Amino acid sequence: MPDTELKGTADQTLVHETDFDPESGQSAVVTLIDALTTVQDADHDEITPIGTVVDGDSMETLVERYPDSAPQPLQIKATVDGWDVTIRSDGVVRIYDAQATSDSTQSAESTVS
């Protein structure tokens, strides 16, 4: 069963959200790359190549083949250039500030100890 928890609802800061249409063949990978360049105000050649973090072909296949009838969309999560990214099979790409997540986790851990 896929991870259906909506990461970012409580412990992350959403900095960018965009979408793609998996039904029309729009690429999840290209959408992710475009979103990362937007967030970082960078050119495509200035960001970490996605292929060094995730297998782009496998990600595309998972997104394309995940059944629309599933109760929750498939979520693929990774960290790229210090950003937590989530690509969903329903065509949503979200980018979160990984540093804010790390800071809140450290803060929560220090409160618990």
The predicted model scores a pTM of 0.76
pLDDT digits (tens, 9 = 90+) for 44-92: 999 999 999 989 999 999 998 998 889 999 999 999 988 999 999 999 9
Question: Rounded distance, CA 98 to CA 43, Å?
Answer: 21
| Residue listed under structure tokens 């296949």 | 61
DSSP output for 82-93: TEEEEEETTSEE
Kind plus residue range of the DSSP H or E element containing 107: helix 98-112
Which residue blocks in the chain are alpha helix, DSSP H?
28-40, 56-65, 98-112
Residue 32 has pLDDT above 70, yes or no: yes
Average pLDDT over residues 88-103: 83
- Mean pLDDT estimate for the chain: 81
The pair of three-digit structure tokens given for residue 14, joined into one six-digit string: 């959403």
